[in-house]
Amino acid sequence: MNSFKIGILLFLVLATSYAQNYPTGKSILDKVDKNMSAKTRVMTASMEVGTERTKRTMVSKIYGEGDHKAYTEYLAPAREKGTKMLKLDNQLWIYSPTTDRTVQISGHMLRQSVMGSDMSYEDMMNDKPLLEQYQADVTGTETIDGANCWVVTLTAIIPDANYFTRKMWVDSERFIPLKEDLFAKSGKLLKRITFSNVQKVQGRWFPLSFVYKDMLKDGPGTKLTIQEIQLDTQIPASVFNLGNLK
Amino acid sequence: MTMIKMALRSLIGNGLKTWLNVFVLSFTFVLIIFMQGLLEGWNRQAVTDTVTWEIAGGQYWSQKYDPYDPFSIDSSAAVVPSSFRKEYDAHDIEPVLYAKGTIYPGGRMQGVLLKGIRPDQHLLALPTYLLKADGAEIPVIMGAHMAKQANLKVNDLVTLRWRDVNGTFEAVDIRVAGIFRTSVPTVDIGQIWLPLDELQKMTLQPNACTILITKPEIPIQQLSAWPFKDQTELTKQTAAMIQAKSKGYNVFYFIFLSMALIAIFDTQTLSIFRRQREIGTLVALGMTQKQVVSLFTLEGTMNALLAILVGTIWGLPIFVAFAVNGIHIPMDVSSFGVPMADKMFPYFTLKLVAGTISFIMVITALVSYWPAHKIARMKPTDAIRGKAL
């Protein structure tokens, strides 16, 4: 009996010491946030929206300040060119050059898909640091594309997080997520994001290519490729102004 | 009386030409009455079906609910007012909660409106008793059109994704417990019905609902947070749509009526030209020109009278047969957006029949008078010689 107890104790000690080899989830998220979050960002990106039959590519220039202000101007294709969107807090305005009108869209529109893609406006514009939204636990290690990753499980600590749990594969050297699964409360996998083309951007690692895939539907998903990016740059206040839409 | 006899004799004397005119006019009569009867029947049926399937005695809407703003539906619910507690417990008032969701049938994504209703409700014709089914998955019911669109059958499982009131995504598998056939598209197209308590739990909105459906006899409460919409207001759109369709049919009536009236006009004009000598003789025998004009107008108008008679003979059995047995609609009309049953029953009112007859009689009289009024300008001497026109 005594040897059984000692065995259990030994197992617990070993398990604890093994777990202690993992960095804390908080420290990983902190490093991820330092790489991925920025006070401001200006980028030119192309978005490839694929369905089973067709593929559309849109190019846009995006200005963002925190997750409260965002301004997007579509540069291509010709049909979308000149379309501008301004998001201030929970309000969204869209300017369409074909009608030369600016329309204010309900805040609920932010939950809708961007131009028929697998991404919602919220997904696109949400830049709130993960640590403010989730508690992180490191649950293991895995290798993705030759890179050793910490597997981090995130559980929402705020009631209005879009996804209750997330599972993130974080590169253990560069502290960049290489893959992320987004789950519903029930545990059903909803979306998968894969990150690639990790480059040094202004001294930090940043993935320049993302693939968003709605896991409940068929299709290749939406590929976002960042062509140019500037982080923590000064954005003139006039950019986030309604007058900038026309 | 003499004039009527003369007009009738002359009309019958025209032979086949008269009967052709009469038949075309009778066809117009029957068609107008039949089409108007069909629209009236459709209107009544649409209102009755909408009341049976969707409205019952009327609805209280949460102040935040705007049916024209689909993006605000998720935040439009409110807690059932305590003043309805007695009616709520007695099932004299039924709360319905609306929420937006997405289903993924066969790997496709399809937006749906989720409607939560108590399974033991008895105000609407929806087979909500099927929502009592036990099982691991949430039971849902849907209309035949929705099931067809999503390619779902009874007992099929499909993934449903939605957001709770805080905006957090949730997804589970639901099971199709029943598919119902209805003529009311507003309880069918793009909608899924599920147990109210489940939807309240799913969206984290306990005791909340978007609308309250009342039993017809329940006294109306004036609540600023829950404005009441009566049956007339709720069926206004359907009535307006049918009214718009009715106006569209006026084009056909105009074409058919024009055909008949041109034939009568043509016959009258030819008749006056050919019967100049007769007109001159009648005036010479002592008839005033006004009397001759009246005679010819009466003759033309009698076409309409004969058409009524002929139309009654062949049209009445058709009206009765369709009014009793209905008309089967040979296509799927559930996507039209207007309540329309598989079988439509025309409804003929006295006002409709009398109104149509009077209208055509007056029009025919005018068309008959138009060529006849030239007689008033004829010189009787020229008319006898056949050279007045």
Tens-digit pLDDT profile for residues B150-169: 999 999 999 999 999 988 99
Of B174, B197, B229, the residue at which a domain comes to its end is B229
- What φ, ψ does residue A18 adopt, rounded to 5°? -65, -45
Helix (H) or strand (E) holding B248: helix B236-274
Rounded-to-integer distance, Cα B347 and Cα B328, Å: 15
- % of chain A surpassing 70 pLDDT: 88
Partners of residue B109 in chain A, C-beta under 8 Å: 214, 216-217
ipTM of the prediction:
0.79
Of B201, B229, B257, the residue at which a domain comes to its end is B229
Rounded-to-integer distance, Cα B52 and Cα B369, Å: 51
Partners of residue B69 in chain A, C-beta under 8 Å: 106
Could you tell me the pLDDT band of residue B378, with boundaries at 50, 70 and 90? confident
Residue B343 pLDDT > 60:
yes
Same-domain check for residues B221 and B293: no
| Residue B342: per-residue pLDDT | 75
Residue A17 pLDDT > 50:
no
Q: Flag if B72 and A109 touch (Cβ within 8 Å).
A: no
Same-domain check for residues B210 and B278: no
| Residue A68: per-residue pLDDT | 84
The DSSP call for residue B181 is -
The torsion of the CA quartet B214, B218, B219, B224, rounded to 10 degrees, works out to: -20
Partners of residue A109 in chain B, C-beta under 8 Å: 71
Residue A16 pLDDT > 60:
no
| Residue A18: per-residue pLDDT | 47
User: What residue in B sits closest to A166 (Cα-Cα)?
Assistant: B169
User: What residue in A sits closest to B105 (Cα-Cα)?
Assistant: A217
Q: Flag if B171 and A184 touch (Cβ within 8 Å).
A: yes
The torsion of the CA quartet A55, A58, A64, A68, rounded to 10 degrees, works out to: -60
Same-domain check for residues B72 and B48: no
Query: How many beta-carbon pairs under 8 angstroms link A with B?
Result: 63
Q: Flag if B161 and A216 touch (Cβ within 8 Å).
A: yes
H-assigned helices in chain A: 2-19, 25-36, 121-125
Give the mean model confidence (pLDDT) for residues B111-136.
Answer: 93
**When comparing pLDDT for A90 and A180, which is higher?**
A180
**How many domains does chain B contain in total?**
2
The beta-carbon neighbor of A108 closest among B74, B161, B168 is B74
| Residue B68: per-residue pLDDT | 86
B376 contacts chain A (CB < 8 A): no
Same-domain check for residues B132 and B188: yes
Rounded-to-integer distance, Cα B312 and Cα B33, Å: 11
Please tell me which of B16-20, B113-117, B222-226, B247-251 the model is most confident about, judged by mean pLDDT: B113-117
Q: Are B151 and B145 in contact (CB under 8 A)?
A: no
Same-domain check for residues B40 and B75: no
| Residue B383: per-residue pLDDT | 74
Of B229, B254, B277, the residue at which a domain comes to its end is B229
Q: What is the mean pLDDT of chain B?
A: 87
B219-264 per-position pLDDT tens digit: 999 999 999 999 999 988 878 887 787 777 778 778 877 877 887 7
Partners of residue B159 in chain A, C-beta under 8 Å: 188, 216
Q: Which residue matches tokens 């070993």?
A: A14
Q: Are A68 and A89 in contact (CB under 8 A)?
A: yes
**Superfamily classification of domain A23-245:** Lipoprotein localisation LolA/LolB/LppX (2.50.20.10)
Same-domain check for residues B63 and B117: yes
| Residue B35: per-residue pLDDT | 87
Same-domain check for residues B143 and B217: yes
Partners of residue B76 in chain A, C-beta under 8 Å: none
Q: Flag if B170 and A184 touch (Cβ within 8 Å).
A: yes
Helix (H) or strand (E) holding A63: strand A55-65
